[in-house]
Structure 1
Amino acid sequence: MSSAVSDEAEGGQTRASTLELFFDLVFVFALTQLTHAFGAHPGWPALGRVALVFAIMWWMYSGYVWLTNEVAPNSTVRRTALMLGMFGFFVIALAIPGAFAGSGIAFGLGYLLVNVVHSALFWVNGGTQASAAALRIVPPNAVSAILVLVGGCVHGWPRYGCWIVALVVQIATPYLSDPGGFVIRTAHFCERHGLVLLVALGESVVAVGASLHADTVTVPLVAMVGLGLTLSYVLWWAYFGLDDERGEHALAALAGPRRGRPAVLAYGYALYPMLLGVILTAAGIGTVLAHGNSPVPVAQALALSGGVALYFFGQSCFRLVLGIPRAWIRLVVALAVLATAPIGVAWVAWGQLVALLVVGYGLVIADDNLGIRAGDHSAYV
């Protein structure tokens, strides 16, 4: 019996539902909030805040993918609970701009609600094996939720400290409790995480339009918009061209109990720098459109090239975890695109964007050609 058929026989979901896609609308809003938060005051402090807030949020958002992989939203009670979790994420997204100021309590309460709904749904509606596995992660999840709430109630460095400790607890959770107890239906699991990444890339396209403040649409402006959209396409192709399907096949090839740890590392940890990279890239594209034919400050130039580099670094980790060939090439791509940042500082913004496209897409195409010669294929190749 094939992996997909056996997964279906075990129950749960094998394909994403429309309710989950509706749920992802909140994720779009959260990414928009994070992009604006960084774009308003680009620099290392803003990057640290955005990275911390997004990491805390991403842990539970990815947790909901694990949840719906086991607990299909096929009853009124389950759908209502998911909508309650969606409300919690919406509160988190609303609080993002002021998370380190006056909105910390709202952020903490939203996160606590998301955590409680997740634990309750898993415990009550999951299968015997999944419920037992979920109960093992309830204590560390509860500790992190309490730390986030306490952090929201205090100010200054204590808030940073509480949230950093909460993040450390989250990172350590898969090592404190074996994730092998969860049943991972690879078709749904990989599709859902792919859709989250697709939603993030879509937000970068929205950022291109949202960054336009000119009353007159000129030829140079249209050209720069085209460059920005092309960069979003390059990031989409870099993952969905081949790696999306290769990742699903690699995970499906593992025996059920052995999928847990690679699933956490590849679709949890490795996807985080990719998504963070998309956020920074979206902010960087906005900077290019704003500066156009003039140089950009160092922070904005690093946001654009560094965001793309983070994306490829995460993809290198994704390949490494799942045993997909040529993980090192994606690391080379990351270093190469990062090296284009000085162009925007020393010359003009659009020149940096062109260099990013030429270097990044050129190396991705070269990598794809190696894969095709080795027999790789996908729905697009």
Structure 2
Amino acid sequence: MTAGPGRIAVVTEVDVDTGGGPAHGKRVGWVELYFDLVFVFAVGQVAHGIVADPHWMRAATALGLFATLWWTWIGFAVLYNRRGDDSRAADRLFVLAGTIPCGIAATQAHHAFDGHPAVFAAAMAGVRLILAAAHRWPARPGLDQSRISWGYLVSAALFGVSAVVPHTWALWVFALLGEAGFLLLGDRRGRRHRGESRERPSPAAQWRVLLKSPRDPNLAVDSAHLAERFGLFMILLLGELVITVGTAALERPADDVTYWASLIAGLVMAGALWWLYFSSAARIYERLLDLSGGNPSLAYSLYAVGHFFPAFALLLIAAGVNLSLHESPPQAAAWFTTVGLTMYLAGTRVFSVPGRPRWYASVARIAALAATVCLAFLSRVLPAPAVISVIAVWAVLTTVVAAGIRHRTLDGLGDDPVAFLRGIEEERRRRTRPSES
């Protein structure tokens, strides 16, 4: 179940320890920031692959490459979250060693686009061997990560085999699904026992599980560190959009009006996307994870899965803006931008409201997302820089709307999250009681 900042299925009784406020966990290590530089280069190559041949099949290939890089990055983020320490030389060396195969994979991304992914796959196998060794390395007492280590060995074998046999993508899918299963979903509190009902649990029951602290404290994630880690990665992806705008603008003469329009519109759009995430969504995610005591399943829902499409959307937007600022932009340029923006808005739950919204709120949300996609039709009557300007204005308007929707959610979670969730559930019951009678 993927949770969102605005659409919260609530519970009436939650057995959690809210603590005295937000957690103040470890800081992001300097070596992690260095590691991110390599990934900036890698994801930049993926975005460049879309620009080099702007077709939807190319974008689908980029999605697959990004998913592979995404789970690789998450592997190191979770590793350092649970056991990393900048004062330990071994922890720093594992991260630095991981930059080498990741850098090789970045240089080979264009070959993967062209149907020759052997070196890319071999590099991905190598980085998983490093992750397997890192999880086997002695850490603090009571922290047994042998299962994760064996999982990465299997994943490395699948990537290694894919480097020499056809049907590469099928093996990659199996490897990534395995990593998604063992990396963060280690606390099986919600597992069914023999004889129990097979009916799907209600949203209230699902949230009751997600908001409970893990039975094994060693499985808990540091909410402050993880929130900052993903926030920094989103900043780096936004930086790809800023660089795209600046680079395209430098190629225009200074007296060209479209030079200034493109520059301003691109920066306004990037600022709006920043505001949509960091003004409320990032804080709500961290608060919920802190409330759960670092529940790994909630971290999986909010971050590993919940951030995937918004993160890729930023690359798609950057590619679309880049293409739109060419002298002869292709038809796909505007569609990449609007589809990317729609993915970002849907992934960050911009138009969602707390509790169970009325039917017209759901219709309005769907209409707003559909309108975002359809802005690409403006490319038939307007020049590309003008289309980017309109999309930027639309992004600002959605930011204003989202600020109003999320204000009550953020304030409620900040004061007393459990009481806030109970209050929404009681309001939902009052709405449905007349119809039930």
8 Å contact kept, 1:281–1:303:
yes
Does residue 279 (structure 1) correspond to residue 315 (structure 2)? The answer is: yes
Aligned to 2:34: 22
**Deviation of residue 374 (structure 1)?**
6.1
Q: 1:152 & 1:354 partners in 2: Cα distance?
A: 44
> Among residues 363, 372, 379, which one is paired with 1:337 in the alignment?
372
Q: 2:286 & 2:404 partners in 1: Cα distance?
A: 21
> Among residues 111, 121, 133, which one is paired with 2:124 in the alignment?
111
Q: Secondary structure at the match of 1:340?
A: helix
Higher deviation after alignment, 76-85 or 273-282: 76-85
Does residue 94 (structure 1) correspond to residue 112 (structure 2)? The answer is: no
**Deviation of residue 378 (structure 1)?**
11
Q: Deviations over 1:17-74 (max 9, x none)?
A: 2221111111110121011001111112101111111101111201211111122132
User: Which letter does structure 2 place at the counterpart of 1:141?
Assistant: Y
**Deviation of residue 187 (structure 1)?**
0.8
Does residue 248 (structure 1) correspond to residue 286 (structure 2)? The answer is: yes
Does residue 139 (structure 1) correspond to residue 144 (structure 2)? The answer is: no
Q: Secondary structure at the match of 2:326?
A: helix
Q: 2:368 & 2:101 partners in 1: Cα distance?
A: 37
Aligned to 1:306: 339
Does residue 371 (structure 1) correspond to residue 371 (structure 2)? The answer is: no
Question: Relative to structure 1, is the Cα distance of residues 306 and 74 closer, same or farther in structure 2, using a 3 angstrom cutoff?
Answer: same
Q: Secondary structure at the match of 1:47?
A: helix
Does residue 163 (structure 1) correspond to residue 176 (structure 2)? The answer is: no
**Deviation of residue 360 (structure 1)?**
2.5
Question: Relative to structure 1, is the Cα distance of residues 42 and 215 closer, same or farther in structure 2, using a 3 angstrom cutoff?
Answer: closer
Q: Deviations over 1:211-244 (max 9, x none)?
A: 3463622232122111011111111110001111
Q: 1:49 & 1:247 partners in 2: Cα distance?
A: 29
Question: Relative to structure 1, is the Cα distance of residues 348 and 64 closer, same or farther in structure 2, using a 3 angstrom cutoff?
Answer: same
8 Å contact kept, 1:107–1:149:
no
> Among residues 226, 230, 235, which one is paired with 1:198 in the alignment?
235
Question: Relative to structure 1, is the Cα distance of residues 6 and 335 closer, same or farther in structure 2, using a 3 angstrom cutoff?
Answer: closer
Does residue 39 (structure 1) correspond to residue 76 (structure 2)? The answer is: no
Question: Relative to structure 1, is the Cα distance of residues 343 and 92 closer, same or farther in structure 2, using a 3 angstrom cutoff?
Answer: same
The structure that is helix-richer by fraction is 1
Question: Relative to structure 1, is the Cα distance of residues 170 and 211 closer, same or farther in structure 2, using a 3 angstrom cutoff?
Answer: farther
> Among residues 268, 279, 301, which one is paired with 2:304 in the alignment?
268
User: Which letter does structure 2 place at the counterpart of 1:104?
Assistant: P
Q: Deviations over 1:98-128 (max 9, x none)?
A: 1255762321222122212222223324434
**Deviation of residue 143 (structure 1)?**
2.6
1:118-129 residue pairs with structure 2 within 5 A?
118-129=131-142
Q: Compare relative contact order (CA 8 Å, sep 6+) and give the higher one, 1 or 2.
A: 2
Q: 2:31 & 2:234 partners in 1: Cα distance?
A: 17
Question: Relative to structure 1, is the Cα distance of residues 110 and 39 closer, same or farther in structure 2, using a 3 angstrom cutoff?
Answer: same
> Among residues 62, 65, 69, which one is paired with 2:74 in the alignment?
62
TM-score (norm 2): 0.74
Aligned-pair identity (%): 25
> Among residues 153, 157, 160, which one is paired with 1:149 in the alignment?
160
**Deviation of residue 358 (structure 1)?**
2.4
Q: Secondary structure at the match of 2:349?
A: helix
User: Which letter does structure 1 place at the counterpart of 2:86?
Assistant: P
TM-score (norm 1): 0.84
8 Å contact kept, 2:287–2:413:
no
Q: Which runs of 5+ in 2 are unaligned?
A: 1-16, 189-213, 415-437
Q: 1:102 & 1:183 partners in 2: Cα distance?
A: 40
Q: Secondary structure at the match of 1:211?
A: helix
**Deviation of residue 172 (structure 1)?**
4.2
8 Å contact kept, 2:276–2:350:
no
> Among residues 84, 102, 119, which one is paired with 2:97 in the alignment?
84
Report which of the two structures shows the higher radius of gyration computed on alpha carbons: 2
Q: Secondary structure at the match of 1:22?
A: helix
Q: 1:164 & 1:95 partners in 2: Cα distance?
A: 19
**Deviation of residue 339 (structure 1)?**
2.0
Q: 1:254 & 1:342 partners in 2: Cα distance?
A: 44
The CA RMSD over aligned residues, in Å, is 3.2
Q: Deviations over 1:3-22 (max 9, x none)?
A: 599977xxxx6111222111
Q: Which runs of 5+ in 1 are unaligned?
A: none
Q: How many residues align?
A: 364
Aligned to 2:431: none
8 Å contact kept, 1:221–1:289:
no
User: Which letter does structure 1 place at the counterpart of 2:133?
Assistant: A
Q: Secondary structure at the match of 1:42?
A: coil
